[in-house]
Amino acid sequence: MDVADPLTALRARSADQRLYNFCAGPAALPLPVLEELQEELPVYHREGASMLEISHRSDAYDAVEESARHRIKRLLGLDDTWHVLFLQGGASMQFHQVPLNMLPPDGSADYLLTGRWSENALEEAQLLGTARAATSSADKKHTYIPDVTADVLDPDAAYVHFTSNNTIYGTQYRTEPPTDAPLVADASSDFLSRPIDVDRYGLIYAGAQKNVGPAGVVIVLVNDRFLAQRNQPLPTMLDYGTHARKRFNTPPVFAIYLVEKVMRWLEAQGGVEAVARRNEQKAARLYNRIDRTDFYTGTTRIADRSLMNATFSTPSETLDAQFCREAEDAGLLALKGHRSVGGIRASIYNACPPEAVEALVQFMDHFEAVKG
């Protein structure tokens, strides 16, 4: 792409060209994964049918699901005390399922509020029992991550729930909040984007559609010790124990099939450490550009900036809208900020290649040169 005018080359694109996609979710998938999928349709490995049309009890499907589970564990360094569950209902169902299973009738849980998703999670927990907001960034429109100190946390909390990355506002915890209670994380928008301290967690959940696959499956990692403390009895389908024990019902086979491919792609990239380095470099490139002139302004506190969703704005809402429109014309998709926040948001998950960030930076240069 020409630095002076990135629009020229991209405007000349063909109708079926794949463009740079900054969608917050469902988000870009790695191209090799899509190509492999295409190859395996309509017939999967001599099965006489595609993976979408065979039994979820078949050997072929069984191998795929086991491989996905095994690779997730290997990528995160999880030992045999961890269960990997492939559930449905999205991350939003987990807002309810976590407290249903893990909030004891005579206990309480702490929630760290950093945006819409954690607020939704707390509301669901409060429908079921005692849960409190230990910290909140609502005072500054969720543009930062509040400090978590021992004095704000309940030492007897059954768990501490936090949203590791805030997709909407563009903030992210740098490290796990300090607490002795088991952590429960909504990691929907930074799952497998960097190493985590697994020993600190009781449970991690993530909708697949941002960093690890298509919509349709939520991945729940739950530790055996934590699982053993769950409430009983529970509705069968909502009991984590049901799914930890066996494949109880028909899982979302297509989504899991793609997650398995994304896990293999991630391993081929060098694993979580390697992809984390690449994510840091992509984010640094973008934030450096935002900060280089006064034309663009980052939305969030610098120390808490997300490596996955970069939020920023131009000098006016009119220019923000124009930026997104012209970027789309130039082949840079889905840069409009979340409807509740406005501005511009570039989601640069694992599968977003550095070239996409480079194209965005070039477009930012061009837009500022014309409008600044």
Residue 110 designated active-site: no
By CB under 6 A, is residue 252 in contact with ligand PLP?
no
SS3 246: coil
Tokens read off for 147: 């400090």
By CB under 6 A, is residue 92 in contact with ligand PLP?
yes
Residue 82 designated active-site: no
C-alpha 182/C-alpha 199 separation (Å) is: 9
b/e map 62-98, b = 16+ CB within 10 Å = eebbebbbebbbebbebeeebbbbbbeebbbbbbbbb
Catalytic residue among 73, 110, 117, 336: 117
CA distances from 52 to 38, 55, 127 (A): 13, 9, 37
By CB under 6 A, is residue 188 in contact with ligand PLP?
yes
> Which parts of 204-233 interact with ligand PLP (CB under 6 A)?
207
Q: CB under 6 A: which stretch of 28-36, 186-194, 224-232, 318-326 binds ligand PLP?
A: 186-194
Identify which of residues 24 and 361 has a Cβ nearer to ligand PLP in the complex: 24
CA 188 to chain centre: 3
CA distances from 196 to 78, 101, 185 (A): 11, 24, 11
Q: CB under 6 A: which stretch of 28-36, 185-193, 240-248, 339-347 binds ligand PLP?
A: 185-193
Catalytic residue among 73, 82, 110, 186: 186
Residue 210 designated active-site: yes
**Cβ 210 to ligand PLP shortest distance, Å:** 7
Pairing of strands 297-298, 183-186: unpaired
Do residues 171 and 114 lie in contact, with contact meaning Cβ atoms separated by under 8 Å? yes
**Cβ 98 to ligand PLP shortest distance, Å:** 12
Q: CB under 6 A: which stretch of 7-15, 182-190, 261-269, 342-350 binds ligand PLP?
A: 182-190
By CB under 6 A, is residue 117 in contact with ligand PLP?
yes
C-alpha 109/C-alpha 117 separation (Å) is: 16
Pairing of strands 218-223, 82-87: antiparallel
By CB under 6 A, is residue 67 in contact with ligand PLP?
no
Identify which of residues 262 and 359 has a Cβ nearer to ligand PLP in the complex: 262
By CB under 6 A, is residue 342 in contact with ligand PLP?
no
**One of 10, 23, 25, 204 touching ligand PLP (CB under 6 A):** 25
Residues that bind ligand PLP (CB under 6 A): 25, 90-92, 117, 163, 167, 186, 188-189, 207
Annotated catalytic sites, by residue? Answer: 117, 186, 210
